Amino acid sequence: MEKAATASDVVIIGAGLAGLAAAAAAARAGADVIILDGRSPGGRARTDAQDGFRFNRGPHAQFLGGAGPRVLARLGVRPATHIPPLLGSRVLADGRRYSPLSRRVLGARAAAQVIAVLARVAAAAPDSFAHRSTQEWIAAFELVPRAAAVLAALVRVTSYASDLDRMSADLAIRQIRLAFRGVVYPDDGWQVLVTGLLASATDAGAELRAHTAATELTGEPGAWRVRTLSGDEIAAAAVVVAAGTPAAARRLLPVDPGWGDLGAEVTAACLDLGVRHTRARFVLGIDEPVYLSPHAPPGRLAPEGHAMVHVMRYGSRAADADRAQLQALAEAAGISAADVAVQRFLPRMVVATSLPAPGAGLAGRPPVPVPGAPGVFVAGDWVGPEGWLSDCSLASGELAGTRAARAARAPGASASGAARARGAQVGLKHRKPYGFACIRG
């Protein structure tokens, strides 16, 4: 059996979107890169195939004005996308479905108030509202109840979060403003982002070691050591910890990073349906934190004549109650039990690992460099001041990878020479690029 490699310029721990972005950025900057992941690449961005359908892990969307598409483009990943089909959309209010323009939903006064608030959102400086909760921000407008409910629904659908008392208002304002610029869905599911980033990294020379969990990070600046579950040890000049959650990162870090409370975990209950027709249309709950969204067609996630539909409740509760509520919404949208070819229920899907709290806001999240550990960086959907959800993962990942590659070139970084010697010995044996392909059902 060939001996495992023992040195690299940069080691990336975790192969979700943040870790893969870090790997691609570091490798394209010229660093020798090893990626470790306890499972297979993708994290929450994986797409699973079943009976001809392809399931994302609940509904995902890319914000056209967000950091994510820009990072992907810089790293050479340009997936085919489409605008969500909104023709025939409905809103759910008082237990009934209406056209979004129906007077029964808003009325003249409420409609005027919502329009006025959105105009103020467009002109607002989000950072100046970080000290307030989103609920306090909405209450300050003194809206009629239905207008306040519509504004709260817009926050939910753009942030994927419903705990408005614990959400900083700067996040809500930024997400609504991003939505003004439009959202898209990848045609072939989020797996194309995973395979695209992995191809970008491996084409530049990075090596993936899947099913290889990192258990310990020790050493000193310029000479870090990463130990794996199998007992192997890899020397590295720089390390990016993209382990998924703040708790997982903290367990690996060689120093106490000094992070305080980073905010509550954001969850959702998701019912993902492979449907035997394509008649379902988008539905947004106004007085209930629910929505239903067809992702195929025009996406290519279902067989011809079939649809992939995601039904979600923002904020998970008891599994039985959430499932019953989502099934009832699907039936109200014209999807009967007989119409469902295949389904998957995620009773507690993690949407984001920490919700920026009032007072801290987005700027209060941990920075990419780990204090007290030069050459060690973190990345994930909870890191850095830029973006939310995948936007944050990709932005922090790219920055961490770029900074790690720079740290590996710094004087005194000892792993670089060993990594180059290893490269001369093994050549490209371990560097088999992954093709830019998606899971096919």
Query: What does the pLDDT look like over 122-160, one tens digit per residue?
Result: 999 999 999 999 999 999 999 999 999 999 999 999 999
Query: What does the pLDDT look like over 417-439, one tens digit per residue?
Result: 444 444 433 333 333 333 323 32
Beta bridge partners of 270: 312, 346
Question: How high is the pLDDT of residue 382?
Answer: 98
Q: How far is CA 8 from CA 75, 222, 349, 393, 419, in A?
A: 21, 11, 35, 23, 4
The C-alpha atoms of residue 233 and residue 114 are separated, in whole angstroms, by 58
At residue 414 the predicted structure's pLDDT band, cuts being 50, 70 and 90, is low
Query: What does the pLDDT look like over 204-216, one tens digit per residue?
Result: 999 999 999 999 9
Q: Are 253 and 218 in contact (CB under 8 A)?
A: no
At residue 286 the predicted structure's pLDDT band, cuts being 50, 70 and 90, is very high
At residue 6 the predicted structure's pLDDT band, cuts being 50, 70 and 90, is confident
Question: How high is the pLDDT of residue 85?
Answer: 87
Residue with tokens 């959650």: 245
Question: 70, exposed or middle or buried, with CB in 10 Å at 0-12, 13-18, 19+?
Answer: middle
Average pLDDT, the chain: 91
Domain edges within the chain: 7-45+191-262+356-426, 47-66+184-189+264-352, 98-181
Query: What does the pLDDT look like over 82-100, one tens digit per residue?
Result: 999 888 999 999 888 988 8
Q: Are 115 and 85 in contact (CB under 8 A)?
A: no
> Is it true that the peptide bond before 145 is cis, omega within 30 degrees of 0?
no
* pLDDT mean over 275-292: 96
Query: What does the pLDDT look like over 304-315, one tens digit per residue?
Result: 999 999 999 999
Question: How high is the pLDDT of residue 415?
Answer: 53
The C-alpha atoms of residue 263 and residue 218 are separated, in whole angstroms, by 28
**Under CATH, which number does the domain 7-45+191-262+356-426 receive?**
3.50.50.60
Output the pTM of the full model: 0.91
Question: How high is the pLDDT of residue 95?
Answer: 86
Question: How high is the pLDDT of residue 253?
Answer: 97
The encoded tokens of residue 22 equal 């870090």
Rg (CA), the chain: 23
* pLDDT mean over 36-57: 94
Q: Which of 101-110, 142-151, 244-253, 397-406 has the lowest mean pLDDT?
A: 101-110
> Is it true that the peptide bond before 433 is cis, omega within 30 degrees of 0?
no
* pLDDT mean over 323-351: 97
Query: What does the pLDDT look like over 13-34, one tens digit per residue?
Result: 999 999 999 999 999 999 999 9
Residue with tokens 């959202």: 183
Query: What does the pLDDT look like over 156-202, one tens digit per residue?
Result: 999 999 999 999 999 999 999 999 999 999 999 999 999 999 999 99
Question: How high is the pLDDT of residue 319?
Answer: 97
